[in-house]
C-alpha cells in the first residue's frame, strides 16, 4: 500500500525540524497522532496533502476568522505583491492598518507592529517596565502569551499540552520577577498587590483565556484587575492576540467594557500572515524608540504583504452585521453542543465566548487552569480522532479553543454537531 504523503513528509521533517514541526502544538503528540501536512485551505475547508477534506475549527489558531483564502485577502495580497515584498522603509499600508486598529480600540492611541504575538507581549512588558521603572509582573497560571522567557511560567497552550512544568533555558533570574496568580481569582491578585503592588510594573492577562481551553472572565474579574492596576499605578496589559477582533470588533475591551493601559494583538490583524502589535496611550507609547528610549525593533515589522492581508481582513470585519452573523453561526453550533453535553454520559462541560469555544472532558465548570487540568485528556484524544475520522479538524489539544469562522455554513455546523453526538451520545 502506498505510504501517505503526509507520513513521507513527516519522516523527512523529523530529520530537519525539532519534532518535525515549526510549532509544538501542531505535532499532535497529546492526541497520539502524527501531524497532518496540509496542502490548501478554502473557506471553512482544509485539504491535506493526501486529498482528505476537513471542516476546519483551528483556523490557523485564530487568524482565519473570514475562513481560508478569502477573496478580499487574496486580492489585497496580489495587488501588493505586484509592487514588491518588503522595502525596509515605511510604507502606506502600515499607516492604514494602524489607523484601523486604533479606531477599533478606544484605549489605543498608538501601536507598534511586530511579526508575532510573542514579540508583541515581550515588547509590551519591556515598555511597561521602562515606563514604571518597576521590575515585577503578574501573569495568570494557564494563560499563554507566546514563547517569552519571563512568561513561560506555568503557561497554557503548547506548554500545558506537553505538560511541561516550565521551559528549560529560562533562567531563575528571568522568572524571578514573574508572580503567578489564579485566573478568575481576584483575591489571589489582591494579596500580591497589597504585598508588593508598588513593585509591580504590569498585570498581563488574556481577558478571554483561550490557552487553557476557552475560559471567559468571571463576573467582576476584569473590573477588579482594572481597579487594582489603577490603585497601584501598574500597567494593565490585555493580551488580545487571540480574542482581539474575535470576540468583538473591539475585542474583549468592547465586549466587557474595560479599557486596558496596553493591548497586545496578533492573529486576525495579519489575516494569516505574520503580524503582531502592541499599543497604548501616547504617554506610554512615546517611550518606545525612536521617540523614546525603550528599544524595540523588527526587520519585517509592518511588512507590506502582511499589512495588506490585515487591512483586507479588518475591512471585511468592519462591515455592518458581520459579528451578528458570526454570533448566529457560533450559537447554532454551541446550542447543539450544549444539548449534547446535557444528554451525554461522559463527564463534559462547555465554555464559549463568541466564536471561540471548547468542549472539556470534565464534569465541573472550567474557570481556571486547575479545573482545566482535571480534564480527561485521554478522552479528548479519542474524541479528536473520532471527529477527524468524520472530517472535522479540531485543535489537537484539550487546552485550546475551537474557532467558528464566517465561512462555516449551517451545513458545516450541523455536520459537526452530528459527528460530536455520534461519539458523545454513545459512550
Catalytic annotation, residues: 144, 239, 267
Minimum distance of ligand KE4 from residue 23's CB (angstroms) = 3
206 near ligand KE4, judged by CB under 6 A: yes
Q: Quick one: cell of 208?
A: 478571554
- Closer by beta carbon to ligand KE4, 132 or else 157: 157
Instruction: Please state whether 86 falls in left (phi above 0), alpha (psi between -120 and 50) or beta.
Output: beta
Question: Between residue 52 and residue 81, which ones bind ligand KE4 under the rule CB under 6 A?
Answer: 61
Q: For 388-408, give the DSSP string.
A: HHTTEE--SSTTS-EE--TT-
Coil, strand or helix at 39? strand
- Closer by beta carbon to ligand KE4, 158 or else 250: 158
Near ligand KE4 by CB under 6 A: residue from 112, 145, 255, 408: 145
Binding segment (CB under 6 A) for ligand KE4, from list 113-121, 215-223, 254-262, 386-394 = 113-121
Minimum distance of ligand KE4 from residue 22's CB (angstroms) = 8
Alpha carbon distances (Å) from 127 to 122, 262, 295: 9, 10, 8
Minimum distance of ligand KE4 from residue 387's CB (angstroms) = 18
The strand pairing partners of 202, in sequence order, are 137, 235
Per-residue exposure over 162-196, b if at least 16 CB sit within 10 Å of its own CB, e if not: beeeeeeebeeeebebbbbbbbbbbebbbebbeee
- Closer by beta carbon to ligand KE4, 141 or else 340: 141
Q: Quick one: cell of 238?
A: 490585555
146 near ligand KE4, judged by CB under 6 A: yes
210 near ligand KE4, judged by CB under 6 A: yes
The strand pairing partners of 265, in sequence order, are 277
Minimum distance of ligand KE4 from residue 254's CB (angstroms) = 17
Residue 331, classified by CB atoms within 10 Å of its CB into exposed (0-12), middle (13-18) or buried (19+), is middle
185 near ligand KE4, judged by CB under 6 A: no
Q: Under rule CB under 6 A, how many of the chain's residues touch ligand KE4?
A: 22
Minimum distance of ligand KE4 from residue 209's CB (angstroms) = 8
398 near ligand KE4, judged by CB under 6 A: no
- Closer by beta carbon to ligand KE4, 161 or else 175: 161
307 near ligand KE4, judged by CB under 6 A: no
- Closer by beta carbon to ligand KE4, 237 or else 340: 237
Minimum distance of ligand KE4 from residue 276's CB (angstroms) = 6
Question: x-or-dash pattern for ligand KE4, window 116-135, by CB under 6 A?
Answer: xxx--x--------------
Q: CA 220 from chain center: how many Å?
A: 22
Give the max Cα distance, the chain: 67
Near ligand KE4 by CB under 6 A: residue from 56, 185, 261, 400: 400
- Closer by beta carbon to ligand KE4, 326 or else 401: 401
Binding segment (CB under 6 A) for ligand KE4, from list 70-78, 139-147, 288-296, 300-308 = 139-147
Binding segment (CB under 6 A) for ligand KE4, from list 138-146, 285-293, 327-335, 411-419 = 138-146
**CA 421/CA 344 separation, integer angstroms:** 8
Minimum distance of ligand KE4 from residue 411's CB (angstroms) = 27
Question: Between residue 236 and residue 295, which ones bind ligand KE4 under the rule CB under 6 A?
Answer: 239, 241-242, 266, 276
287 within 8 A of 294, measured Cβ to Cβ: yes
Name 373's Cβ contacts closer than 8 Å, sequence gap at least 6.
160
Q: For 94-136, give the DSSP string.
A: HHHHHHHHHHH-TT-SEEEEESSHHHHHHHHHHHHHHHHT--E
Name 71's Cβ contacts closer than 8 Å, sequence gap at least 6.
none
Minimum distance of ligand KE4 from residue 393's CB (angstroms) = 15
178 within 8 A of 139, measured Cβ to Cβ: yes
The candidate with the shortest Cα–Cα distance to 28, out of 51, 48, 3, is: 48
144 near ligand KE4, judged by CB under 6 A: yes
**CA 29/CA 95 separation, integer angstroms:** 41
Binding segment (CB under 6 A) for ligand KE4, from list 19-27, 126-134, 291-299, 314-322 = 19-27
Residue 290 preceded by cis peptide, ω within 30: yes
335 near ligand KE4, judged by CB under 6 A: no
Near ligand KE4 by CB under 6 A: residue from 158, 271, 280, 302: 158
Minimum distance of ligand KE4 from residue 139's CB (angstroms) = 11
Q: Interface residues with ligand KE4 (CB under 6 A)?
A: 23, 25-26, 61, 116-118, 121, 144-146, 157-158, 206, 210-211, 239, 241-242, 266, 276, 400
Amino acid at each position: 500500500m502506498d505510504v501517505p504523503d503526509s507520513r513521507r513528509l513527516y519522516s523527512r521533517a523529523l530529520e530537519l525540524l525539532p519534532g518535525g514541526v515549526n510549532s509544538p502544538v501542531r505535532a499532535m503528540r497529546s492526541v497520539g497522532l502524527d501531524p497532518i501536512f496540509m496542502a490548501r485551505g478554502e473557506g471553512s475547508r482544509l485539504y491535506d496533502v493526501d486529498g482528505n477534506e476537513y471542516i476546519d475549527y483551528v483556523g490557523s489558531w485564530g487568524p482565519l476568522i473570514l475562513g481560508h483564502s478569502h477573496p478580499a485577502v487574496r486580492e489585497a495580497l496580489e495587488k501588493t505583491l505586484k509592487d514588491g515584498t518588503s522595502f525596509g522603509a515605511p510604507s502606506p499600508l502600515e499607516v492604514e492598518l494602524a489607523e484601523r486598529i486604533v479606531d477599533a480600540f478606544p484605549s489605543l492611541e498608538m501601536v507598534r507592529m511586530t511579526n508575532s504575538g510573542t514579540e508583541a507581549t515581550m515588547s509590551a512588558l519591556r515598555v511597561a517596565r521602562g515606563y514604571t521603572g518597576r521590575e515585577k509582573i503578574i501573569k495568570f497560571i494557564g494563560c499563554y502569551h507566546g514563547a517569552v522567557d519571563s512568561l513561560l511560567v506555568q503557561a497554557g497552550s503548547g506548554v500545558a499540552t506537553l505538560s511541561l512544568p516550565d521551559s528549560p533555558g529560562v533562567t531563575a533570574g528571568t522568572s524571578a520577577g514573574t508572580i503567578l496568580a489564579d485566573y478568575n481569582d481576584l483575591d489571589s491578585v489582591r494579596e500580591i498587590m497589597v504585598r508588593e503592588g508598588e513593585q509591580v510594573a504590569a498585570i498581563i492577562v488574556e481577558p478571554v483565556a483561550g490557552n487553557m481551553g476557552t475560559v471567559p472572565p468571571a463576573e467582576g474579574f476584569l473590573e477588579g484587575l482594572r481597579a487594582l492596576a489603577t490603585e497601584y499605578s501598574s500597567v494593565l496589559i490585555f493580551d488580545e492576540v487571540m480574542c482581539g477582533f474575535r470576540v468583538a470588533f473591539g475585542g474583549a475591551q468592547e465586549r466587557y467594557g474595560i479599557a486596558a493601559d496596553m493591548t497586545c494583538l496578533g492573529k486576525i490583524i495579519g489575516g494569516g500572515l505574520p503580524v503582531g502589535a502592541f499599543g497604548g496611550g501616547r504617554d506610554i507609547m512615546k517611550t518606545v524608540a525612536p521617540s523614546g528610549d525603550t528599544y524595540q525593533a523588527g526587520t519585517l515589522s509592518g511588512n507590506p504583504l502582511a499589512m495588506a492581508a490585515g487591512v483586507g481582513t479588518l475591512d471585511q470585519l468592519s462591515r455592518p452585521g458581520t459579528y451578528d452573523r458570526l454570533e448566529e453561526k457560533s450559537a447554532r453550533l454551541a446550542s447543539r453542543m450544549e444539548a449534547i453535553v446535557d444528554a451525554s454520559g461522559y463527564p463534559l462541560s462547555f465554555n464559549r465566548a463568541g466564536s471561540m469555544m471548547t468542549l472539556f472532558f470534565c464534569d465541573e465548570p472550567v474557570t481556571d487552569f486547575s479545573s482545566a487540568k482535571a480534564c480527561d485528556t485521554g478522552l479528548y484524544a479519542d474524541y479528536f480522532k473520532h471527529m477527524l475520522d468524520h472530517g472535522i479538524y479540531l485543535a489537537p489539544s484539550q487546552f485550546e479553543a475551537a474557532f467558528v469562522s464566517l465561512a462555516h455554513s449551517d451545513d458545516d455546523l450541523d455536520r459537526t454537531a452530528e459527528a460530536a453526538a455520534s461519539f458523545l451520545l454513545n459512550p
